[in-house]
Chains A and B, each alone.
Chain A
Amino acid sequence: MEAFQNLGFWGTLLVTVVLSALPLVFILLYALVTIYLEMKVAAHMQDRLAYMRTGWHGVLQPIADFIKLLQKEDIISVAADKKLFILAPYIVFMGTYGAYAAIPFSSIFIGANIDLGAFFIIGVSSLVVVGILMAGWASNNKWSIFGAVRSAAQMVSYEIPTALAVLIAVMITGSLNLQDVTKFQAGGIQNWLIFGGPLPLLQKILITPFTVITFLVLFVASLAEVNRTPFDLPEAESELVQGFFTEYSGMRWALFYVAEYANMFLVSAVAVALFLGGWESPFGSFLSGPIWGMFWFVIKGMVLVFLQIWLRWTLPRLRVDQLMYTSWKVLTPFLFVCIIAIGLILVL
């Protein structure tokens, strides 16, 4: 970003707009790829083939779907609260998209290299809850409001394990800046935070079990943050029809959908940046550099996204009380133990 300092007001504005649109391009491309991936993975896990007609093995299907959604009639029910109804998808998308600002895609590409990066992501992505509540309320549909309330409760409770897991990473690296956290893990796969980071050997051995647990907890909590199975209660199809977006159709629905997929990558990206070495190459300096960094970051993120898809097509769904149990009685206590243990080991 330093290269663009002397461009004057308009120049800066232009550069800002272009740069901030880049993640949007990424999100859209990524959403198309992931929707295709999800459908294909789901189908093959179920001994099916999924799309086969549009292009080679149906690769053009997500684009066709997108065009179809653009053309669809925009339906807003008479009893809906029109203003909120229209606003909600944008807020949901905004919350997700805003968080992309602090994602370190590569050593040179990060929207805003702010020192409170990790904190910023947690904060901004909480905005999604507001949008979901709005959508549920404005739809004037009882299933929607159920979905929205469930979602609010779920996201608020799962933010605690997420924040605690982030805190552990911050404790080890000593920084909230995701670039710094990533750089801390340089030097290959053994230096990733999930394996204790580049600490002295004894500390590393002691700390590794706890960081592995932390990573697992972060992954589970992130599943809940993005409403994926087994935590897909807000949109539980068999219970709440489609949850908070039951009443949405066409482009507004697509916006929720894209936001959901973008969110999947977002939480994966946070986990990657904090625990899996971010854009650092797993082979030390081999295949490293800004472009390779981007490659590694996206690959690592996609592996976690694939894991999410894999889980979704394997598991049943939890019940509301069990969801809360998991958050408050399993994930959070485990992280407290980890925090204390890691703190003690670091003091050693």
Chain B
Amino acid sequence: MIETKTLPTEYVTHPGAIKSSSGKTLRTDEMIINMGPQHPSTHGVLRLEIVVDGEIIVDVIPHIGYLHRCFEKHAEHMTNYQQVIPYCDRLDYCAAINEEHSYVLAVERMLKIELPERVEYIRVIMAELQRIASHLIAVGTFGIDAGAFTPFLYAFHDRELILSLFEMTCGARLLYNYFWIGGLSHDLPPQFVGKAKEFCTYFKPRIKEFNDLLTYNEIFIKRTANVGVLPKDVAINYACSGPMLRGSGINWDLRRDDPYSVYHKIEWEPKVGKGEMGTVGDVWDRHIVRMCEMEESVKIIEQALAALPEGNVQAAIPKRIRPDAGEIYARTETPRGELGFYIISDGSSTPYRVKGRAPAFVNLSVLPDISRGGMIADLVLIAGSVDIVLGQVDR
């Protein structure tokens, strides 16, 4: 019942054609399948048009735009700079704090504001907590892509604990609007430091448990090692960033290489993929980079909590935010990679132009290149390892 097109005769000379024992050529056909936008493992509304030869993938064409919400145009039509922040949250709803961080950083650099030390430390703590939460979603759903459901719920439980910390601090669980231009919306509640420390001690053994259950499971390793290998040069050519890039063995982390906030005062190191289970840059490497980054984030949080100074959480800023005419590009390391905001100001109280450089979008563009020749089951894993959030891809 599957419709097949009548193909030109040259098709039989295609490499996929099978010769029968009598020497007669049997015609085989490539099939085009739409994976998504309604598919359990496209992490939202991504549509992948796959050309398959049996189970082997010949080509993948991603179609995006199902979640386009005109973020950039909206930003131009707000009444002030502050109002853009809730929209930034909604770009990458899994890591809203990191999105805010980037935008707020850009505006603050335009205004040339010095922030109180306490603000910077709180921002680092929050950004790293958010990074853990986001990576937990990434590795959890990655487990589902591989067919293991239980790790997902363990990951989600831990994420809920982080979200409770956020809710305690700013009142929201997902879309925080917590980093404001020149400071924060609220100071930390008194019990926050204790609870955050408690979480750090609780979370370390949980990472190990997760690794035992999923990461070092032999079936999982066999599924992910040597699959979707992203070589160094391809990663650089496609401007991949974040765990995608570090998974390919390139030691590049904006927190260290283009320091912002107080990351330079904290001891930590970026994690890179080493190809322990297969080739450098395979799906397993990207997964392990995320797992290790969570451990690093816990370290950063613990140090930042210990060094947290007292003080004000709002810098002195003009009542009406009107940056001088000019432009700026500020970038931060989000869980998905380099998120940058390019803002042009015409001196008025609304941005003239806001452009977001979405890491998920850039990383997604490499998908066709690394999934050709794999199987459908591999494609699911590769798409999962890119860790896309369609809100950010489509903006």
Chain A residues in the interface with B (C-beta under 8 A): 42, 45-48, 79-81, 137-138, 140, 142-143, 145-146, 229-230, 232-233, 236-241, 313-322
Contacts and interface: CB of A to CB of B under 8 A. Distances in A.
B1 A318 contact: no
8 contacts: A42-B149, A46-B153, A145-B2, A236-B147, A241-B40, A317-B219, A318-B222, A319-B222
Interface in B146-175: 146-150, 153-154, 157
Interface in B329-388: 375-378, 380
A322 B223 contact: yes
B168 to A, nearest CB: 22
B145 interface: yes
B152 to A, nearest CB: 8
B40 A47 contact: no
A47 B1 CA distance: 44
Given A48-B153, A239-B377, A241-B40, 16 more contacts: A42-B149, A46-B149, A47-B154, A137-B1, A143-B33, A314-B213, A316-B146, A316-B147, A316-B148, A316-B223, A317-B147, A318-B219, A319-B375, A319-B377, A320-B55, A320-B377
Contacts of A318: 219, 222-223
Interface of B: 1-2, 31, 33, 39-41, 55, 143-150, 153-154, 157, 213-214, 217, 219-220, 222-223, 375-378, 380
Given A140-B1, A140-B2, A319-B377, A238 B150 contact: no
B223 A319 contact: yes
A328 to B, nearest CB: 16
Contacts of B213: 314
Given A145-B2, A316-B143, A320-B377, A237 B150 contact: no
Contacts of A315: 147-148, 217, 219
A46 B147 contact: no
A142 B1 contact: no
Nearest to A139: B1
A79 B147 contact: no
Nearest to B54: A149
B384 to A, nearest CB: 8
A233 B222 CA distance: 15
Contact of A230 (B55, B143, B147, B150): B147
A313 B152 CA distance: 11
A47 B223 contact: no
Contacts of A236: 147, 377
A233 B207 CA distance: 28
A241 B39 contact: yes
Q: Max chain B CB contacts within 10 Å: which of A145, A146, A233?
A: A146
Given A45-B150, A46-B153, A239-B41, A142 B33 contact: yes
Given A81-B1, A230-B219, A316 B214 contact: yes
Q: Which 7 A-B residue pairings sit nearest by Cβ, starting from the closest? A: A317-B147, A316-B146, A238-B41, A316-B148, A46-B153, A140-B1, A316-B147
B375 A321 contact: yes
Contacts of A320: 55, 375, 377
Contacts of A232: 147
Contacts of B147: 229-230, 232, 236-238, 315-317
Contacts of B214: 316
B144 A138 contact: no
Nearest to B32: A142
B40 A238 contact: yes
Nearest to B213: A314
A212 B1 CA distance: 46
A316 B375 contact: no
A322 B222 contact: yes
A233 B55 CA distance: 12
Contact of B376 (A140, A146, A313): A146
Given A146-B55, A239-B377, A317 B146 contact: yes
Nearest to B38: A241
B214 to A, nearest CB: 7
Nearest to A237: B40
A236 B39 CA distance: 12
Nearest to B39: A241
A182 to B, nearest CB: 34
Q: Max chain A CB contacts within 10 Å: which of B55, B154, B219, B222?
A: B219
Contacts of A48: 153
Nearest to A137: B1
A47 B145 CA distance: 21
A326 to B, nearest CB: 10
A238 B1 CA distance: 24
A46 B31 CA distance: 38
Contacts of A143: 33
B375 A313 contact: no
A47 B149 CA distance: 13
A71 B144 CA distance: 31
A222 B217 CA distance: 21
A318 B145 CA distance: 11
Contacts of A46: 149-150, 153-154
A140 B376 CA distance: 19
Nearest to A230: B219
A143 to B, nearest CB: 8
Nearest to B153: A46
A319 B283 CA distance: 14
A140 to B, nearest CB: 4
Contacts of A45: 150
A23 B219 CA distance: 36
Contacts of B377: 233, 236, 239, 317, 319-320
B4 to A, nearest CB: 12
Contacts of B145: 238
A238 B153 contact: no
Nearest to B31: A142
B220 A316 contact: yes
B1 A79 contact: yes
Given A238-B41, A319-B223, A138 B150 contact: no
Contacts of B154: 46-47
A232 B144 CA distance: 13
A346 to B, nearest CB: 34
Q: Max chain A CB contacts within 10 Å: which of B31, B33, B150, B213?
A: B150
B144 A238 contact: yes
Contacts of B144: 238
Q: Max chain A CB contacts within 10 Å: which of B147, B214, B375, B376?
A: B147
B136 to A, nearest CB: 15
Given A236-B377, A314-B213, A318-B223, A142 B148 contact: no
B150 to A, nearest CB: 5
